[in-house]
Structure 1
Amino acid sequence: MTLLPPSRRADPRGRIVIAGILLALVLPLVAATPSPTPPADPERAAEYWISGAHVDTAWKTTRGAGVTIAVIDTGIAKGPQQFDGAVADGTDVSGIGSSDGRTPLGPLDSDHGSRVASLAAGRARPDGTGMIGVAPEAKLLSISLGFGTTAPVPFAKQVADAMVWAVDHGANVINLSFTTNTLEWDQSWDDAFLYAFDHDVVVVVAAGNRGSGTTMVGAPATIPGVLTVGGVDQRGVASRSASTQGITIAVSAPSEALLGVDANGTIETWNGTSGAAPIVAGIVALVRAAHPDMDADNVINQVIQTAHPAAQATSYPDPQYGYGLVDAAAAVSASLPPVTANPLGDLSEWIRLHRRAPAAQPAQPTRTPAAIPPLPQADTPTVVGSPLVPSPDSLLYGTLPLVALTVPGILIALGVTAAARRIRSARAHRTPKS
């Protein structure tokens, strides 16, 4: 602070008077202007999707107890309070993680799996406050993947192994918040995803984000039968950076200004369909908990048929919004006619049409072939001779008839020729008459 020169310093008594006058003028204004009251629970208030997707209304029926969500991702961290009592089991399929799948993997975003899990089924604080997942009473399975080239196990095999492990360890819902940015998928995924579908598991997949270079959905979001989730902002409009588009998108959920817990328990704000997918996975868990006898095909039908068509959608389903914006309360409470097949496609039929069919096995004979006796052996020659010397048969039937016909013919020809010469000679020596 710069001090004034001594000659220009103000009288302290004058300053007190002026300060009193200012306080007299300002205090009434302060008293008349209400100060904003911060929310009692700012983290819960920031979870706009809890009320926006009517999750809080669905909680009046169920909070997901009895359902298990498998998070196949970078691993769910052990430290955060949101996972106390939530993670039932886990494993690592990458070859570089811990055996329980609870060591976050990846040099760039090892917290990804924890954020995903917290949105799906994170627990509130003991007093009921703080960030909470969509299905806060569901169980979690932590299956850690190694993304990139650092894992000794190929990525396609990791995913296939993770799918089978999740099914074998009781998953009712599987969440996959990643994309390969390609339409095609490794053939080993055929059997792995069929294994999940055949065991009545709902597979929820993120559509991908334009902001990270995904302009169209890629596998596993392109696999028939999976529940692919697109992303919208707080207004319900398709996110320009935190979502993508494609005909396989089934429903849309919030993907901007999301909350998620990192490995040390810090609440972060993040964007992307990686977060929209676990919101829907949590809603699927609520439906499965409310309707324990409902199979996976009908659970999916509940979710997509009760979604609200987006105002900006141009078709139904729409390549950006799918069937619409997900509604947890409607999905839990609606009574719909049952379906007999997955409304999002049949992977087994796709495999039949697009994978090369195995070669047909040759038909097996139905009758015993008839036994044919072998031909008799040729007679052994009794006289050994040269093939150049005539045999009796060749002399009798070949040589003698040929000689009998040829010799008389030659003699007759010679006689005729001699007679003709004599006639010509006699004519040549005859003397003409005068």
Structure 2
Amino acid sequence: MTSRRLLFTVVAAVAATTVAFPSPASAAPGLRGEQWYLDALKITALHDQGINGQGVTVAVIDTGVDAGHPLLAGQVLPGLEVQGGGNGQQDIDGHGTHMAGIIAAKGGPGPNDILGVAPGAKILPVKIRDDEKFLSQALGGGIRQAVDRGAKVINISLGNWSTPPSELTSAVQYATSKDVIVVAAAGNREAGGSDIGSPARIPGVIAVTGLDKQGAFYSGSVQGPEAVLSAPAERITGIDTRTPPNTGYSTADGTSDASAIVAGVVALVRQKFPQANAASVINRLLVTAEDVGPKGRDPQYGFGRVFPNRAFSTQVPDVTTNPLLAGASPGGSGGSPAATGKPGATGTPVAGGASESDDDATKPFRVLVGGIACLLIVAVIVLIVVLVLRRGRRKKAAAGPPFGAPPGSGPPWPSAGSTPPGVGPQQGGFGAPPGAGPSFGDATGPQPGPPAGPGSFGGPPPAGSGEPHTDTGWPPPPTGPSGPR
């Protein structure tokens, strides 16, 4: 084996030892394979740990829910129709069923078995009739009845008012007083709005803006200072009502879907920390959000992109007051404000408000891999020195001159390729979604096409790239992965 080929073999061994990136695309077939947001948020890894929302009831205040859908069988409780006599288990429109599926669809072995964020949770449907969608009295009544029927999380993927009506504000305050978390869509630009509407803008509510598949701000989402968290909002594949002409499946864009995703995450946290009050659950999500855009809270991402894994691996103090309420002290008595402007977490705050306790379970493995990588790199350097010295000795023996510097300094170390920067806050390229839904609404369309690949946020950026060195032909040593921002 030539010295050059030997050196390439050693460099390749270093690369194989130090670089371990996730697959860039889901290998799952069918519609299940198009649920890119589950991979981006690493939801199934939580399910594998038994964190699936079991024991938590999530109210979906919407157009009703098709309780007979096979992927919701046994998931939907008897609900109600506000100012009506129904139980909320029928859905002509499909919007409410789509939201319920994002939260709690059961999944299964089939390629089209859509999986929810919290498949162990139960759905309490609260139907707002078509002629009452934007009536604050009906929506306020729905919130109160959802609280009284045992919901611990309420998802509201609809809204309208720039100035919240008093009866709606009162209903949200009632939910807060009963230890219930209200999650609401910020709103979509295609619906004609530019500011965050109510109930999302009401203090105490988790107002959710949208992200595209690259983790950047979704261009169809409204924005504003009331933004709290951001979540996937582009090409969200899920279920739909089976009422003709609907097929039982659909793909949609919009903050309605983002809100449902966050509601599912809240259900996971409430299952994992059953003794934590609503204020502490909200505080945990804010502290562990992945901070992007301007440092701290900003109008597009709020406190950051929802980051479920951090929510379960970070030590966060309990608080007594909802940190989203005016006059509340972020972090509570047990914490201090982090440098990012987020509520406080125990440990040393790092990017995104998480503590250095993140990924403690993988630390021994990372130390081992790092040690092996360092040894191999040292071996490569030693090998280069030996090769240079041998080359000098050969030339000296052939020419027989007095001692002098060997000609040339040996092959230069190939320069590392540039690592693409982490996902930034730039505007996503997706235009306003076509067609308005029933409220903020999602543009539900035909069966989705092939996915464009999972989003990159919440994980490491791609490996470094670069052209091979022109002097030697050796590829540059790959750069190691960097952690989340």
Cα deviation for residue 154 of structure 1 reads 7.8
Cα deviation for residue 346 of structure 1 reads 4.5
8 Å CA contact retained: 2:276, 2:318: no
* Partner residue in 2 for 1:254: 232
Of residues 51, 68, 84 in structure 1, which corresponds to 2:57? 68
Output the CA distance in 1 between the equivalents of 2:134 and 2:274. 36
Instruction: Give ranges in structure 2 of 5+ residues lacking alignment.
Output: 1-24, 329-485
Cα deviation for residue 127 of structure 1 reads 6.1
Larger radius of gyration: 1
Task: Report the AA paired with residue 146 of structure 1.
Answer: R
* Partner residue in 2 for 1:391: none
Is 1:333 aligned to residue 313 of structure 2? yes
* Partner residue in 2 for 1:199: 178
* Partner residue in 2 for 1:165: 145
Cα deviation for residue 266 of structure 1 reads 2.3
1:229 counterpart SS class: strand
The range that moved more, 80-89 or 326-335, is: 326-335
Output the CA distance in 2 between the equivalents of 1:171 and 1:87. 12
Percentage identity across paired residues of the two chains = 36
* Partner residue in 2 for 1:83: 72
Cα deviation 1:308-328 (Å, max 9, x = unaligned): 112xx1242010001111111
1:89 counterpart SS class: coil
8 Å CA contact retained: 1:262, 1:268: yes
Cα deviation for residue 72 of structure 1 reads 0.2
Is 1:155 aligned to residue 135 of structure 2? yes
Of residues 27, 31, 47 in structure 2, which corresponds to 1:43? 31
Output the CA distance in 1 between the equivalents of 2:176 and 2:40. 30
Of residues 119, 129, 149 in structure 2, which corresponds to 1:146? 129
Cα deviation for residue 125 of structure 1 reads 3.1
User: What does 1:14-413 align with in structure 2 at a 5 Å threshold?
Assistant: 39-59=27-47, 60-95=49-84, 99-105=86-92, 110-125=93-108, 130-147=113-130, 150-151=131-132, 155-180=135-160, 182-241=161-220, 243-264=221-242, 266-310=248-292, 313-346=293-326
8 Å CA contact retained: 1:177, 1:273: yes
Task: Report the AA paired with residue 210 of structure 1.
Answer: R
Cα deviation 1:365-390 (Å, max 9, x = unaligned): xxxxxxxxxxxxxxxxxxxxxxxxxx
Output the CA distance in 2 between the equivalents of 1:250 and 1:342. 13
Q: 1:126 to 1:94 in 2, by over 3 A?
A: farther
Cα deviation for residue 70 of structure 1 reads 0.1
Output the CA distance in 2 between the equivalents of 1:135 and 1:154. 28
Task: Report the AA paired with residue 102 of structure 1.
Answer: Q
2:299 counterpart SS class: coil
Output the CA distance in 2 between the equivalents of 1:113 and 1:267. 13
* Partner residue in 2 for 1:7: none
Which has the larger share of helix?
1
Output the CA distance in 2 between the equivalents of 1:100 and 1:277. 23
Cα deviation 1:50-104 (Å, max 9, x = unaligned): 1211212222241010100000000001331121010122100043xx5111222
Instruction: Give ranges in structure 1 of 5+ residues lacking alignment.
Output: 1-36, 349-434
1:249 counterpart SS class: coil
2:77 counterpart SS class: strand
8 Å CA contact retained: 2:239, 2:249: yes
Q: 1:154 to 1:179 in 2, by over 3 A?
A: closer
Task: Report the AA paired with residue 115 of structure 1.
Answer: H
Output the CA distance in 2 between the equivalents of 1:56 and 1:123. 12
Q: 1:42 to 1:195 in 2, by over 3 A?
A: same
Task: Report the AA paired with residue 342 of structure 1.
Answer: N
Q: 1:87 to 1:143 in 2, by over 3 A?
A: same
Cα deviation 1:102-136 (Å, max 9, x = unaligned): 2225xxxx110000110011111366962111000
8 Å CA contact retained: 2:26, 2:39: no
Output the CA distance in 2 between the equivalents of 1:263 and 1:127. 19
The range that moved more, 136-145 or 71-80, is: 71-80
8 Å CA contact retained: 2:78, 2:89: no
Output the CA distance in 1 between the equivalents of 2:176 and 2:27. 44
8 Å CA contact retained: 2:231, 2:305: yes
C-alpha RMSD over aligned residues: 2.3
Cα deviation for residue 334 of structure 1 reads 2.0
Q: TM-score of the superposition, structure 1-length normalised?
A: 0.66
* Partner residue in 1 for 2:443: none
Output the CA distance in 2 between the equivalents of 1:38 and 1:220. 35
8 Å CA contact retained: 2:53, 2:119: yes
Output the CA distance in 2 between the equivalents of 1:38 and 1:174. 30
* Partner residue in 1 for 2:409: none
Cα deviation 1:142-188 (Å, max 9, x = unaligned): 110024xx35x9811111111111011110000000121x3212211
8 Å CA contact retained: 2:30, 2:112: no
Output the CA distance in 2 between the equivalents of 1:217 and 1:259. 24
8 Å CA contact retained: 2:187, 2:222: yes
Q: TM-score of the superposition, structure 2-length normalised?
A: 0.59
* Partner residue in 1 for 2:424: none
Instruction: Work out which structure has the larger RCO, using CA pairs closer than 8 Å and 6 or more positions apart in sequence.
Output: 2
